[in-house]
Each structure stands twice: as C-alpha cells, then as structure tokens.
Amino acid sequence: MTNLQFIWFILIGVLFSGFFFLDGFDFGVGMLIKSFAKTDAERDVVIRTIGPHWDGNEVWLITAGGAMFASFPMWYATLFSGYYLVLFLILAALIFRGVSFEFRANMETARWRTFWEWAATIASLGAAFLFGMLFTSMIAGMPIDKNGDMTAHFFDYVNLFSLVGGIAVTVLCLVHGLNFVRLKTDGELRDRALTWNKVLYPVLFAGEVLFAVLLFFSTDFFDKKPMSTTGIVVALVIFTVLAYWGVLKNHEWLSFVGSGLSLISVVVLIFNGLFPRVMIANNPANSLLIKNSSNSPYTLHLMTILTFSILPIVLIYFIWSYWVFYKRLSSPKQEA
Amino acid sequence: MINLGLDILGLARFQFGMTTVFHFFFVPFSIGLAFVVAVMETMYAIKGDKDYKRMAQFWGKMFLYSFAVGVVTGIIQEFQFGMNWSEYSRFMGDIFGAPLAIEALAAFFLESTFIGMWMFTWDRFNKWVHTLFIWLVMFGSSLSALWILAANSFMQNPLGYIINAKTGHVQMVSFAKVVGNPQLWNEFPHVIFGAFVTAAFVIAGCSAWRLLKRDHVTFYRKSLNVALVIGLIFSLGSIASGDLQTRYLINNQPMKFAAMEGLYKDSTNKGEWAVVSGFDTKNHKTTWSVDVPYVLNLLSYHKMSGTVKGMNPINQEMHAKYDKKFGKDMNYYVPTNTLFWSFRIMAGAGALFALLAVVGLIMNRKRSQAIMRQRWFLYILGLCLWLPFVVNTAGWFVTEFGRYPWIVYGLLTIADAVSPNVSVASLLTTNIVYFLMFATMGFIMIVLCHRTLKAGPDSDNTDGYASSDTDLDPYSKGAFNHD
C-alpha cells in the first residue's frame, strides 16, 4: 500500500464522516416533519432550519461517491453494483426528500401538502435506516467472487445485525436532528425537542450496546483489531453519554457536537475495521484490498493536489453559509 | 431505436437513456435560467429599476423548481455508473472518476451553497452581493457541465491515456490532454449556449402566453425583451459552435457524421445534401431523398468542392481496424434514422430560434405595439417554449447513439461494460419505478410552472415565494418571525 492510497482511504472516510455528521441532522429533522411538528406553521419552522443547508449537505454524499470512483474504482464498482436494490431505494428516498420541500411549499390543497410532508418524513427515515443497514451488512462480509462481483441474497442484506445497525443509525440521526432543532429554534419547539431527547437517549444506549454485542459476533473487527475496535466503541458510547449529559444539563452545543461525534465514531469504527481492506468478502481471498483497488499513482497524485487545493476553499464558504443562517427561528405563536 | 428486449444490456441502456434525457431536461433549463436571472438581477443592480428585481424573483421561482429536480436526478446519474455499469467503472475509473469528483468538489458545493444563500437572503445583503450569489450559482453549474463533458469527451475521443498491460484498464498519463480534448472544447460551448437558448425561449414562450391574455403587459414585454436578446445571441452562438463540432466529427467520428447526413456511399464532388431522406437500414441503402447540390460541402468544409465518406466504406475500414481485437461479428453501423432526423431537428430549430428572436425584437420595440397586435406571432412563441427540450434531447441522441457500438470509442464496447451481477428483475423494477417517478416529477414541474405563471409576478406568496422586500422565505407561508 502506498502513502497516496492510504491518504485516499482516509479521505473517503473523512467525506463519509462529513456526510453522516451533516446529513445526519438533516435526515433527523426530516423525520420530525410529520411526528414532532404538530401544525403547519411548526412544520414550516422545522423545515426552515435545514432549508438553506440540506442541498449542500447532500453534496458530501455525491462527493464521497465521486471521490470513491476517482480513487478506488474497484471498490466503487463492487459496492454500487452489489448493493443495487439498497442503493436504488436510497436514491428513491433522496429524490422524494429532495423535491418534497419545494413541492410542499407550493401545493394548494392541504391533502397534497400532507402528501409531501409524509414523503419527506418517510424518505428521511428510510434513507437513514438504509444507509445504516448498508454499512452494517457490508462490514459483516458479503459473497464476492474473484472478479469482485457480489451476488448476495436477501438475508445477506437484511439480517439481525444489519437491522440493528439500521435502527441504531436512524435513532442516532433522529437525536442529532433534535439537537440541531434545539440549536436553531426557540420557544415551544426548542422545549419539545428536549423532552423528546430525554426519552430517546435511553433507547439509543440500548441500541448501541446491542450493536456492539452483535459487532463482536458478526464481524472480525474484535479478532483482528481488538484494541482499536474496543477503543472506538468506547468513544462512541462516551460521546453519546456526553450528548445525553448535555441534554440533561441543557448544554445545547455539547449535545449537538456529542451526537455528531457519535455518528463520526460509527464511520471511524467501520473504516478502522475495514483497513487494509475496502470490501470484505466471505471468502477472505476475494476481499478487495486498498492496495489493489485503487487508481494509478498518477491519478491519485493529481486528485490529491486538486482536493487539497479546492476543499479548503469549499470549507470556508460552506461554514460561512452556516454562519449567515445562524439565527434562531422562533416557534409559531399558539393560535387562540 | 432502443433495444427493448428484456436482457441486462437492453434494460441498462434504456435506463441510461431515460435518466439522461430526463436529467437533461432540467440541466440546461437550470443553467440557462441561472444565467438569465443573473442578467436580470444585474440589470436591477445597475439601473435600480424594480421591474428587473421582480423579474429575477419571478423567473427565479422556476429556476428553483428546475434546480431541485435536476439535483436529485443527477444523483441517479452518478450512482448509475457503479450500479449498472460496473465493468465500465473498473475499466474507466482512472480517467472517469477524476472529473466526476472534481465536479462534485468544485461545482456542486458552489452551486448548492450559494443557491441556499440566494434563496434566503434577498433582504440581508446589498444588491451587488446578492447578485454575486446568483452569478456564483451560474458559474458553478457551468463548471459542473464542463467536468461532466470532459468525462463524456473521453468516451467520444479518448486522449491522454495508455492501456495498463496488467489489468487491461485505461490509465491516465496526461490530465492536460484529458482536459484539453478538442472534443470537449467543441462540445462545451455548444451545450452552454444551448442552455441559454433553452431558458430564453421558455421565458419568451411563457411571456407570450401571458401577453395574449394582456396580463402585466409591461412586465412580460420587458421579460420578453431580455429573453429574446439572449435568445438571439446564443442561438447564433449555438449554430456556430454546432458547426465547429459537426466539422470536427468528419475526421474524428466519421461514422457519426455520415449517419447525420444519411450517407451510405461516399458523396460526389457535387456535394448533394439531403434535406429529407428515407433509408433501408437493413440493406444499408438510401431509398429516396430530396437533395440540394453543394450544401454538403459548404456545411462540411465551408467550400464548394470535396467529398464525404459514406457509412458503407467506413464500416469496412472499421472492420479492418478492429476485427483483430473485437471479432468479426461487430456491427459498426449507428442508428441512421435517429441521427439523421435528430440532426435536422437541431439545425432547423437553431435557425428558427434565431429568426423568431429577430422578428420578436423588432415587434417588441419600446414604442411599438406590433407585438400586441400580431397575435399569431405570440402563439408561435408560446408553442416554441417546448421546442428547446426536444432539441436538447436530439443533441444527446446524436452524440450518444452516434457512439454505438462503443461506450469508450475504439476501446470498450457497450456490451462489455454492463454489470454482470445485476439481474433482469432488478433492472426492470428500477426502470419502471424511475419511469413513474420521472413522469410524476415532470408533471408536477409543469403544474408548478403553470401555476406560478397564472399567479403572476405580483402574487404574494401563493406559492410560498414572497415578492415583498421583507418576508422572503421560500418555504414559509409567512407565519413566523425572525428574532
């Protein structure tokens, strides 16, 4: 494995971390539209918290996909063709979500507004769940042949481990979204998000513990890298505890950063366990390795220069855009 | 035209065609609208005329709808390479991934961040800064077109690569050559100009329908004027860049060029150009045609003399060149009817657009009422708002069907590129669902644009997009306050 290959493995991890941190709260907020927000006006506020951002957040996913293609095309080809129907469902969810905000705002009848609200809610829930399921089943190992083609069956994708993984990621996104709502709103919505999180965090703890146990039995992570895997799992739990503590003590920033770091820990856990592989095959001889899945040194070198010159500029205006919309939105007044 | 047999290859091709065509309804519309809206807002910033601000906001609504649909269908495009064309991804990763990643990094972030800024900050920044936002969106979306076309150009005309002896995959040796590909620099201006024309004639068409109802006459006449000026400049630009691109094909992809002109045999020195033709594609013959002498040579070489190679000799040459590697059973003929007619639609529409723009601008002079009296002309303009979408599709038909049987010209066939592990059932399901989703989204787009138009430029928030200076939140019904 060359240094460049290593850098790109890390970079893909960084891009997915960015995606889970950002789209994590965006999925979470999306799930709230038809459950947490009670009135039309409240839904306006809830959607407005992510209004200027969701699109940019999703670009992290597109960039991660593009970067994977540009650095590890064998990984990209195996993952994307192997997870065909899962990715198709994710795409459908992202499409419905993407158009739902604009379409909802423009519908004339209440029925159609409700339709797009449900679309946004279910699609956000579905996307978070499916991403969780995809990555969980991926680390458990998949049937991959010599050419790198995956021919998996239903229960390779959907099993106890991947379901728990999917649910855990969903709940994590949900609390992350609530933490974001607490930062961005004021009044009734801000208070309600606190109440919700007080209930949801114990559920999340249970989910994380169950996930860790299944991780032990379903993957080779604890065999191959006992120290680092244990360390990251512990970090994941600590971040969640910190976030919960933030919820209880009313430190909003702490809980938001805590839930964000929890999501990033999940990504780190996955990438740490994968290394030095990128796809784990049931037959270890067929696993895709960093060293033989990448592009040529020329392309990697080129991409490294370009990425390190463009990404900092992107980060500057990306963060600036959040700063511009920093203001809290007040909850709608209760109608008498 | 498209192989609809239920095999993986046919279904994957159909899916690629369907998603590309649908995606490309919205891409040029968005790029073009961003440009027109940016021009309008700039005029507002310079002149301080509030009408131009209303125009930017009003047509900006359509831009936002189109952008949303364009973005979500774009994700399908990116994922599709890995999902349906995994062999292609493995073969081309070293070249194809780079522009795709740069597109995301350099263009998508720019677009998506600044579109959020533009939508939500009408009252927060001074007019120059706010205008800058829409120019950045426009710049970002053009940049994204540039990078994806760089990838496409390699597929049309591979440059700057070697074949890795061990893996058999392409490997980049010169990024400068990949980006400097003449195919790209012929294709890019044509696509961008076409995008500007698309937006211009949609706006012109919409304005024409409202003018027929004598609704907001000043507003729509001003919109019409901006649209037609842009439409005129860039339809001429499209014709010129299209001419460059077409002539580049003569040497580069002779089969594509011959099919666009419907030539099975070499042309004679008299340069007969077929206005319309019938073909016997099975026996590779032209059955009938209406010819004009010398036009072919004028189009091809800008001279009266010369000859153009026909498809039959080209087919033989290609067999001689490629049989060793790809076998004798290859069919190098491209779908002649599709290319021939698509090209004529494009060329005809280009001329029509330029003509309509000239006539429209003359009728729409400031003191003249001609445009209001010549209702037939407004009807024509109104109908022509659909034409750019047909033309854009025709353009991609020529480019992509003309590449047949290659996915990467001369290097990889379409048949060898498809994912071997994806089932017919999966592909059929996704095709059906995508189709239904596209149909729904397309329908809603039309309904929304129609409604926006009916509500008019002064509508306060009927579609959630305020036009007053104070409350400018696209997603709100105006029910809540900022702190």
pLDDT in tens, B103-152: 999 999 999 899 988 988 888 888 999 999 999 999 999 999 999 999 99
Q: CA-nearest residue of chain B to A100?
A: B68
Helix axes A297-324 and B86-102, enclosed angle (nearest 10): 50
Q: What is the pLDDT of residue B475?
A: 52
User: Position of tokens 């760089």?
Assistant: B150
Interface contact B82-A328, CB threshold 8 A: no
The full DSSP string for A220-253 is SHHHH-HHHHHHHHHHHHHHHHHHHHHHHHT-HH
Q: What is the DSSP string of A142-192?
A: B-B-TTS-B---HHHHSSHHHHHHHHHHHHHHHHHHHHHHHHHEETHHHHH
Cβ distance of A327 and B120 shorter than 8 Å: no
Q: Which residues of A touch B110 (CB under 8 A)?
A: 314, 317
Residue B466 lies in a domain: no
Q: Which of A5, A47, A57, A88 to mutate to test the interface with B (most CBs of B within 10 A)?
A: A88
pTM of the model: 0.90
Best residue of B18, B22, B421 to probe chain A, by most A CBs closer than 10 Å: B421
Question: Per-residue confidence at B443, pLDDT binned at 50, 70, 90?
Answer: very high
pLDDT of residue B476: 46
| Tokens 């609200």 -> residue | A117
Q: B477 and A40 in contact (C-beta within 8 Å)? A: yes
pLDDT at B456: 86
Interchain contact, A314 vs B116, CB within 8 Å: no
Mean pLDDT for the stretch of residues A218-241: 93
- pLDDT score recorded for residue B345: 95
Q: How confident is the model at residue A51 (pLDDT cuts 50, 70, 90)?
A: confident
Nearest Cα residue in chain B from A64: B101
Q: Is some CB atom of chain B closer than 8 A to the CB atom of A24?
A: no
Contact B421 A80 (CB under 8 A): no
- Whose CA is closest to B124, among B473, B475, B435? B473
In this structure, the answer to whether residues B229 and B281 fall within a common structural domain is no
Task: Identify the residue among B65, B69, B75 best suited for mutation to test binding to A, counting A beta carbons within 10 A and taking the highest.
Answer: B75
**Rounded mean pLDDT, B253-281:** 90
Residue B226: inside a domain, yes or no? yes
Residue B17 confidence (pLDDT) above 90: yes
Residue B460 lies in a domain: no
Chain A residues within an 8 Å CB radius of B419: 77, 81, 84, 149
What is residue B136's predicted lDDT score, i.e. its pLDDT? 96
Q: How big is the A-B interface in CB pairs under 8 Å?
A: 253
The arithmetic mean of pLDDT across residues B40-65, rounded, is 92
The confidence band for B179, taking pLDDT boundaries of 50, 70 and 90, is very high
- Answer yes or no: is B116 within a domain: yes
The yes-or-no verdict on residue B469 having pLDDT over 60 is: no
Cβ of B96 and A306 within 8 Å? no
- Residues of chain B with Cβ-Cβ distance to A149 below 8 Å are 86, 419-421
Extents of the domains making up chain A:
7-293
Q: Does A246 touch chain B (CB under 8 A)?
A: no
Chain A residue numbers touching B23 (CB-CB < 8 A): none
Q: Do B376 and B266 have their domain in common? A: no
Query: Is the dihedral angle over the CA atoms B127, B133, B139, B142 positive or is it negative?
Result: negative
Residue B290's DSSP bridge partners are B276
pLDDT of res. B302: 87
DSSP string, B66-126: HHHHHHHHHHHHHHHHHHH-HHHHHHHHHHHHHHHHHIIIIIIHHHHHHHHHHHH-TTTS-
pLDDT of residue A334: 59
How many residues can be counted in chain B? 483
pLDDT at B5: 54
Q: How far apart (Å, rounded) are the C-alpha atoms in residues B100 and B105?
A: 9
Handedness of CA B2, B7, B13, B15 (dihedral sign): positive
* In-domain check, residue B473: no
Point out which residues pair with A289 in neighbouring strands.
A277
| Closest CB from A80, A186, A298 relative to B483 | A186
Position B256 confidence tier, pLDDT thresholds 50, 70, 90: very high
Tokens of B348: 């005809």
Q: Domain count for chain B, please give it.
A: 2
Please answer yes or no on whether B477 and A101 come within 8 Å at the CB atom.
no
Best mutation site among B73, B91, B100, B172 for testing chain A: the one with the most A CBs within 10 Å? B100
| Residue B442 structure tokens | 């397309």
Name the A residues in 262-291 with CB < 8 Å from any B CB.
none
Domain shared by B20 and B46, yes or no: yes
pLDDT of residue A195: 92
- The SS3 call for residue A92 is helix
The reply to whether B104 and B194 lie within a common domain is yes
- ipTM of this complex prediction, to 2 decimal places: 0.88
Q: What is the pLDDT of residue A328?
A: 80
Q: Which of B64, B75, B481 is closest, CB to CB, to A91?
A: B75
Contact A66 B420 (CB under 8 A): no
Pairing of strands B412-413, B406-408: antiparallel
Residue B479 domain-assigned? Answer: no
Which residues constitute the domain of residue B161? 8-252+335-455
* Residue B474 belongs to a domain: no
Rounded to an integer, the average pLDDT of A208-228 is 93
* CA–CA dist A110, A292 (Å, integer): 55
Instruction: Tell me the mean pLDDT in the region B166-186.
Output: 93
Q: Is B374 in the same domain as B329?
A: no
How close does chain A come to B241, measured CA to CA in Å? 30
Gyration radius from chain A CA atoms: 20
| B94:A73 CB<8 A | yes
pLDDT in tens, A57-85: 888 999 999 999 999 999 999 999 999 99
B36 neighbors B196 (Cβ within 8 angstroms): yes
Chain B residues whose CB is inside 8 A of the A298 CB are 171-173
- Does residue B129 sit in the same domain as residue B149? yes
Mean pLDDT score, B60-66: 89
Whole-number average pLDDT of chain B:
89
Q: According to CATH, what is the number of the domain A7-293? A: 1.20.1630
pLDDT digits (tens, 9 = 90+) for B372-424: 899 999 999 999 999 999 999 999 999 999 998 999 999 999 999 999 888 89
Domain shared by B42 and B169, yes or no? yes
When pLDDT is cut at 50, 70 and 90, the band that residue B471 belongs to is very low
Contact: A66, B87; criterion CB under 8 Å: no
Q: What percent of chain A has pLDDT over 70?
A: 99
CB contact under 8 A, A324 and B124: yes
Distance spanning both ends of chain A, measured CA to CA: 67
Q: Taking CB atoms and an 8 Å cutoff, what residues of chain A touch B76?
A: 91, 95
Which residues of chain B does A74 touch, with a Cβ-Cβ cutoff of 8 Å?
90, 93
- Confirm or reject contact between A152 and chain B (CB < 8 A): no
- What residue of A is the nearest CA neighbor of B124? A324
pLDDT tier for residue A206 given thresholds of 50, 70 and 90:
very high
Alpha carbon B212 to chain centroid, angstroms: 29
Of B73, B93, B106, the CB nearest to A295: B93
Q: How confident is the model at residue A336 (pLDDT cuts 50, 70, 90)?
A: very low
How far is B269 from A98, CA to CA, in rounded Å? Answer: 56
A98 touches chain B (CB under 8 A): yes
Bridge partner residues of B378 (DSSP) = none
Identify all chain B residues contacting A151, using CB atoms and an 8 Å cutoff.
Answer: 421
B101: nearest CB among A40, A103, A303 = A303
Asked if residue B469 is part of any domain, the answer here is no
Most B CBs within 10 A among A22, A48, A81, A156, hence the mutation to make, goes to A81
| pLDDT score, position B464 | 39
Q: Are residues B168 and B93 in the same domain?
A: yes
CA distance A314 to B111: 11
